[in-house]
Structure 1
Amino acid sequence: MPRLSLALPHGADPVSRWRITARAHENFLRSDPRGDAEVRPVVLESWRRSAALHVDPDRPGSPITLTDDALAEARATHPLRYAMPVVRRLLIDDAAEAGVLVIVGDAQGRLLWAEGDEDLRRRAERIHLVAGADWGEDAVGTNAIGTALAVGDTVQVFGSEHYTRSVQPWSCTAAPIRDPLTGHVLGVLDITGGASVVAPQSAFLVRSAVAAVEAELRLLGATEGMAAPGSRLEVLGRPRGQLTHRGRTHELSLRHTELLLLLAEHPDGLPAGELAWQLYEHDAAEVTVRAEMSRLRKAVPDLVSPAGQYRLQTELRTDAMEVAERLTRGDHRSAVELYKGELLPRSTAPGVVALRYRLHGWLRNVLLQSGDTEALRTYATSPAGREDTQIWRACLDRLAPGSPHRAEAAAVLTGLDGELGHAG
C-alpha cells in the first residue's frame, strides 16, 4: 500500500495551508501552473481528472440520484447493510459529540447512509451531502469519498483542496471498503466536518473502522463475492416470494411462498395437517397440501423433505427474519431500511396473516415508543408509513425546532387529517 498522504501533518498550520491551496486552486482553474508544486500529488491528480470530466467548480452541490423507494431499495440490498451496526458502534454513536458526520456510500460514490451531528447535517443539506446524493469525482470533483474510490486507498481532503468551491468549507477523510474475499471495492466509509477530521489520527481511525467492517462481512459471509450459507426468501412488500437457492433465483407462486415461509418459521418441521390449518381459511384436506408440496419439490429440488413431517433441508433465511433480528438488537434504523412493506400483503393464509400483523405491529410500536427521528422519518416516507397519521405526528413531535423536515411533516398531517375528515 502506498504511503498515506496526510492533509495536515503534525505541525502544519491549517490557515496557511488553506490559503496556499486556495491560491493554487484558482491558478489551476485559469490553467496557470504556479502553485502546482505546493499541492499534494493526490489532490493535483484529482483536480486534473475533475477538469477532464468537465466538472463545474461553481456547482452548488452534488446531484441527488437515489430518492425515496430507490434509496430504500439500494440500502436494503447492499451488503454493507450488514456492517452498519459496527459502523454505528465504532463511529456514529459518538459522532454528535465529536461534531462530525459519518457517511457510508456504495462503490459508485452514491451515499447510502449519512448520520451524525444534527447541526452539521442541516448545513450539509445545502450542498446535498445527504443520503441518495452522488459524490463520485465525475459528479463533484475532488472530495475524499470520490477520490478514495478513484485511487482505491485512504484519502484526506482539506478545505480548499476540494475542486468545487461550495465544498471548500468542509474537510473529510475516507477509505474504500473491500470484499474481504475478492478484494473488490464494495463502498466507502467517510468522516466529514472541520479541520479536525483530517488530523493524522483521523486517517488511522477510519482505516481501523474499515478493517472492523471487513472483518464483520467476512464473519457473516454477507458480501456479493462470498457464498452466503443456505438460501434466502424475500417476502416483504411483495405479492409473492422471490427465492434464491443454489445461486439461482426463483419467482414463486403465492402458495409456494406461503409454504416456505411457514417452514422457515418452524425449523423442526410441520405435518401436512398443521400446514393445512395455517394455509387455508376454510377446512382443507391434507391431500391438498401434499399436492402443493409435491409441485414445490419439483420446482425447487433438495429444499424440502419428502412427505410426512415436512421440513427444510437447508437453512432458509427471510428478509422478515432479518427485520425481526434487528428489532431484537435495538437496531431500529436498519430494521426500517430493510422493511420494504407488509409481509405478503395479498396472502389470506391464517398463519401468514399472523406473521404479517406481528412484524408490522412490532416495528411500528418500537418506532412510536423509542425510535429516533431518522428512523421515524424513514418509515413515515416509506409505502408502509406514508398514510400513518400517528407515525407522522410522532415524527413532527421529535423533529428539532429548526429542522427543515418539520414543514413536510406538518403538511402531510394536514392532508391526512383532511382526508380523514372528508371520509368521516
Structure 2
Amino acid sequence: MSYADLDAYSRLLRGAHEAAEAGRVPPELPRRLITASWQRSLEAGIDPDGKSAPLVYDLPHIEDVRQAHPLRPLLPLIAQTLSSLADEVLIVTDGGGRVLWREGSHAIMRRADQIGLADGHQWAEGTVGTNGIGTALEAGRPVHVYSEEHLMRVLHVWSCSAAPITDPDSGQILGCVDVSGTSRSLHPATVALVAATAKLTETQLALRMHERDERLRRRFESVRGQPGVLLSASGRVLSGDPAGSLGERIRLSGRRVILQDGSAAVLEPFADGFLLRPTPSAAPPTLALSFLGEAQPVATFGELNRPLSLRHAEILALLALHPHGLTAEQLSFHLYGDDGNPVTIRAEIHRLRAQFGEAIAAKPYRLTCPLEADFLEVRRHLSANDTGALARAYRGPLLLRSESPEIRRERDELEAQVRVCLLRHGAPDELWTYAQTCSGRDDYEVLERLAALPPTDPRSAAARSRLYP
C-alpha cells in the first residue's frame, strides 16, 4: 500500500471512527478484522479518549513472572530475528497481553512510555481496545494495526505488527511478539517478519519439548517392568499406550483420574512427568474428621493421622457440609464473606490435595471418598432423637476458634439443637456428659437439673459447686 493510499485510508478511518462513536453505520467500513475488533472494544466499554494502557505488574512482581515464563530462554532468538527493525520498539508479552520485555532505542521507548507501551502494562483488547498485541491474541493470528485503526486516539500516531506464540505442548497461547513504531515508519509488510519470528519461536519450543519427551521416555524404559502409562508434565501420552485408547492427552485434575472408558487410574510423579497406573481394586480410604470440642482439629485418611491448621479444617468442614461441591468463589464467601479472595482458596486447596489428593476433586471442589465426621454423626443422632449416643458424640462446639460465617452458623445451630434435645429428653447421665463440654460446663439450666439429683449423688454436689462457687 503506498503512502497516498494510506492517506485515503486514514480519511476513511476517521469517518468510521466518528460514526462508530455516534452509533451510526459509516458509509465505508474498515477491513473486517478491524470492524470486529472495534465492536468488541466498544462493547467492553473502552474509552476512545483513554490515554494509556494500565499498569498491572509492579517491578518486583514482574521479575518473578519473567523468571518463570517459558519464552524467557528464547528472547535472544526473537531479538536477533527482528534486529533489522532497530528503529522500532520490540515487545514480548504473556498470554494476557501483559508486557514482560521490550527493546528499542531510547527515543522510541520514551515515546512508548507515554502510552504505557512498557514493562508491566497490559495491552489486551479488553483493556485498551483495538491494538496489535490485543487483537492478535483475540484473533489467534498475526495482525497489523495501522494508525487510525486503533480505537484509542492517542495511538493514532502508532502502527504495530504482532503475532501470537502458541505452546506446542499445551496448545495454549504463551504470549505475543510485537513490533511497534510511528505510523509512517512501520511498513505493513512488517507483519510477515513478525509472524515468521513467532513461528521460529514455536519451532524452538517444539524442539525443546521433543528433547524433554525423549529424556523422559529413556527414563521410563528403565522401569518398564512396572505397569503404567508415561505422561508429560502437561498430560500428553508419551509411552505405554500402543493401542492409543487413551487419546493424545489426559486431563490432569488431582491424583485420581477417570479415563474415557469410565475406569479409574492414579497419577504418580515420575521425573519431569507422571505415570498413570491402574487404581488398586481396594476401596478408597475413609476420611475421618474430628472437629468438635477444644482439641486441635485432626483428619485421618487411611493410615495417615494429621493435625490440621484451622483454615484447612474449615475448608474440609465446608466440603463435608456441601457434598455436591463448592466453587472457589463459594468457598471464599463461606470462609471470609464479601472480603474473600478465590485465589487464596485455590492455593489452600492445592496444599490440602498434596496431603489428601485422591479425597478432594475439583470443578467444583468436593470430597470423593467415604467420609466420617463427628459433627455429621451428631446430626444423625439428633435426627434419631438418640440422646445417649448424642451425649457421647458431642464433645463441644464445632471448630471453636473459627470466625467463618458459615462455620459459625453451623456451630451455633448444632449447639442449640444438642442443648434443647438433651434438656427435653436427656437422662442425668447424658446431661452430666454434656456438662463436661466447654458449652455445658456453665450452662445454668443444665446445672440446675443436675443439682436437683439426690444429695448423695456426687453429680449433684458438683453441679451446686458450679452454680454457687
Please, what TM-score do these two structures have when normalized by structure 2? Answer: 0.45
- Looking at both structures, which has the greater relative contact order when contacts are Cα pairs under 8 Å and sequence separation is at least 6? 1
When you count helix as a share of all residues, which structure comes out higher?
1
